[in-house]
Every structure is written in C-alpha cells, then in structure tokens.
Amino acid sequence: MEKVSCRSCGTCVLAEKFSPQHTSVQWNPTALAACTELSAHGLRAHTCAALRASIEAAVASGELPVSTRDVDVRTRGRTVV
C-alpha cells in the first residue's frame, strides 16, 4: 500500500489499486477525523469523492501503480529481513 493524500483536504491514507473497479483504502483515526467530507456526513458516508478522485489521479500519473498480484502483496516483491 502507498500513501495517497487527498488533493482537497490533505488527508493521507494508504491505498492500493488492484483494477479499475477495485481499490483498497486503509484509513486511520487521524485521517478519519481530518476528512472534511466524512466529518460532514459522519461514518454513514462510506467513501469520500475527493479522495477517490485523488487516488484516480495518482494512478493516472503513475504515482500509485495498479497491483497485478504477481508478487506477494504484503511485500510487493521486496525482500523482508
């Protein structure tokens, strides 16, 4: 997973893209509290449109690669010591 910051409010989450339809986002308490869209709607909102757009922009720019799962997703092919 890679850090992605929302271009609207600056909230930083971990994200991984597996396909055009499948995105995994890991929120932490700080990010949940900082997200202006989620705080406006409470936890009933399951997504933030601004963050989704930021993730898509990161994919389009190559900043966030699309995982092919050809390697172990926990290590992304890196050697763990």
pLDDT tens digits along 51-69: 999 999 999 999 999 987 6
pLDDT tens digits along 19-43: 888 999 998 888 888 888 877 665 5
Among residues 13, 18, 16, 20, the alpha carbon closest in space to that of 50 is found at 13
Q: Can you give the pLDDT at residue 12? A: 93
Q: How far apart are CA 6 and CA 12, in angstroms?
A: 6
| Count of beta carbons in the 10 Å neighbourhood of residue 47 | 12
pTM for the complete prediction? 0.75
Phi, psi of 29 (to 5 degrees): -55, -35
